[in-house]
């Protein structure tokens, strides 16, 4: 009742949806093979493509149309662009989340005493982590496992309004906190696309191997609505003090890395030391537009080893972020138009053009598999280069149609997860740099 009185503007009516557990045991060997190639220290969590049979949501696979993911993607980009243009102030398995109804990647974490598993969206564009929780006083969407039950954990506690973590919510969620009549902190995390999570700010034990994080702060969601698919919640990896990264930094250092896998493989999300060999680094840029997001400088794009006919000033004047939750890379209009033109010229008449598909307007008849896709490279400050494999350049949006996996987005550039797929990406916040290395999901 107290939560409803504190947040009456979020009242919507729904019932708790049925849930079920999913086993990961059959896929553990695949990740163990990857673990041996990683630095033995730190935390390593498996990361799966959203359509992989090893996904935590494999039992809930669905024929989710790619247009739905693009619609979701467009809303997310609109939200991120608004944040920027308005100037508002361990390894885990990762899987792609289309079977959960999201375009993000999904990891499994363990919380509580005894520890229980939850499949959560991994998001570098937000800070507060949260789970759907019993008694789910307002609304919970269908998810892959059981809702988190605070009463079943001997180490669970609600965070009082007097705690510093409650005061930190305004920067972590861009929304003010509120209090129950009993003096406990209430959070409201909104995502700019009509999605939101509202509930009690809480703390419990986050079980990691080989150690655990006691007093891990997260949201215990009582009203969770929007484009979260069938996920159990979300972990935020942005730079705010309440983020998943910040709370692990004392034990594992101020850096993390991941490799976003294809549907045929398994990737990882790692916290702790990393091996810099074979990594090309670009400086992490600090921006007053949003201090929690990961900015970098895109200095050029080449197609067939030729630079696009775009002035260096256009690149220099473009805020650019890298984001795990945006699927399709967005480029300012002038840069995108030049890229599209260069790709069309390179493909020539080898493939018949097809109609646009949602936000994607450079499309061809047939599949991208077997297509003579031109070489595309993203060039960053400091000399770091992402030489994109053909599957990172084109995306099959439906049977018989493939499109350039880039789109126009006004004056903001976002490096999306389609282009990052198959690369090891290191976010070294401590040293202020981002590193790339191709083919590291094996």
Place of tokens 């030489």: 387
Among residues 104, 217, 121, which one has the least CA distance to residue 168? Answer: 217
If one counts every other C-beta atom within 10 angstroms of the C-beta of residue 151, the result is 8
Strand partners, 184: 160
Q: Can you tell me the distance from the alpha carbon of 229 to that of 226, in angstroms, rounded to the nearest whole number?
A: 8
Q: Can you tell me the distance from the alpha carbon of 420 to that of 413, in angstroms, rounded to the nearest whole number?
A: 14
Among residues 415, 410, 416, which one has the least CA distance to residue 333? Answer: 410
Judge whether 323 counts as a catalytic residue: yes
Q: Which of 73, 123, 204, 232 is catalytic?
A: 123
Among residues 424, 397, 72, 15, which one has the least CA distance to residue 229? Answer: 72
Q: Can you tell me the distance from the alpha carbon of 140 to that of 18, in angstroms, rounded to the nearest whole number?
A: 10
Phi then psi for residue 191, to 5 deg, are -125, 15
Q: Which of 73, 204, 223, 323 is catalytic?
A: 323
Judge whether 223 counts as a catalytic residue: no
Among residues 408, 335, 396, which one has the least CA distance to residue 371? Answer: 396
Answer yes or no: are the C-beta atoms of 30 and 54 closer than 8 Å.
yes
- Active-site residues, by number, are 123, 323
């Amino acid at each position: 009742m107290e939560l409803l009185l504190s947040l009456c503007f979020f009242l919507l009516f729904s019932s708790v949806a049925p849930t079920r557990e999913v086993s990961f045991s059959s896929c553990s060997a695949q990740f163990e093979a990857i673990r041996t190639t990683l630095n033995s220290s730190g935390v390593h969590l498996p990361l799966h493509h959203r359509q992989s049979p090893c996904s935590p949501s494999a039992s809930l696979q669905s024929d989710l149309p790619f247009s739905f993911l693009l619609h979701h993607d467009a809303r997310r980009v609109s939200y991120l662009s608004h944040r920027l243009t308005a100037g508002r102030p361990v390894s885990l398995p990762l899987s792609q989340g289309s079977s959960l109804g999201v375009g993000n990647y999904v990891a499994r974490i363990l919380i509580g005493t005894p520890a229980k598993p939850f499949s959560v969206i991994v998001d570098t564009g937000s800070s507060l982590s949260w789970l759907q929780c019993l008694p789910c006083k307002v609304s919970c969407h269908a998810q892959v496992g059981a809702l988190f039950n605070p009463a079943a954990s001997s180490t669970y506690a609600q965070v009082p309004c007097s705690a510093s973590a409650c005061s930190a919510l305004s920067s972590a969620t861009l929304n003010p906190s509120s209090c129950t009549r009993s003096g406990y902190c209430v959070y409201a995390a909104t995502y700019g696309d009509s999605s939101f999570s509202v509930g009690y700010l809480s703390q419990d034990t986050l079980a990691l191997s080989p150690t655990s994080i006691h007093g891990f702060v997260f949201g215990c969601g009582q009203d969770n609505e929007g484009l979260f698919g069938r996920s159990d919640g979300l972990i935020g990896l942005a730079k705010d003090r309440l983020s998943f990264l910040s709370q692990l930094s004392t034990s594992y250092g101020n850096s993390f890395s991941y490799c976003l896998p294809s549907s045929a493989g398994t990737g990882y999300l790692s916290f702790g030391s990393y091996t810099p060999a074979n990594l090309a680094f670009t400086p992490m840029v600090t921006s007053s537009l949003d201090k929690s997001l990961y900015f970098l400088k895109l200095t050029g794009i080449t197609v067939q080893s030729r630079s696009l006919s775009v002035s260096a000033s256009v690149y220099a004047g473009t805020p650019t972020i890298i984001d795990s939750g945006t699927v399709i890379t967005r480029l300012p209009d002038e840069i995108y138009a030049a890229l599209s033109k260069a790709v069309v010229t390179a493909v020539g008449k080898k493939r018949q053009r097809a109609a646009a598909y949602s936000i994607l307007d450079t499309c061809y008849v047939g599949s991208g598999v077997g297509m003579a896709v031109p070489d595309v490279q993203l060039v960053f400050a400091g000399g770091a280069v992402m030489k994109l494999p053909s599957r990172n350049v084109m995306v099959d949006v439906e049977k018989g149609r493939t499109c350039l996996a880039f789109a126009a987005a006004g004056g903001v550039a976002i490096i999306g997860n389609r282009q990052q797929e198959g690369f090891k990406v290191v976010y070294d916040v401590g040293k202020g740099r981002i590193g790339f290395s191709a083919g590291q999901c094996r």
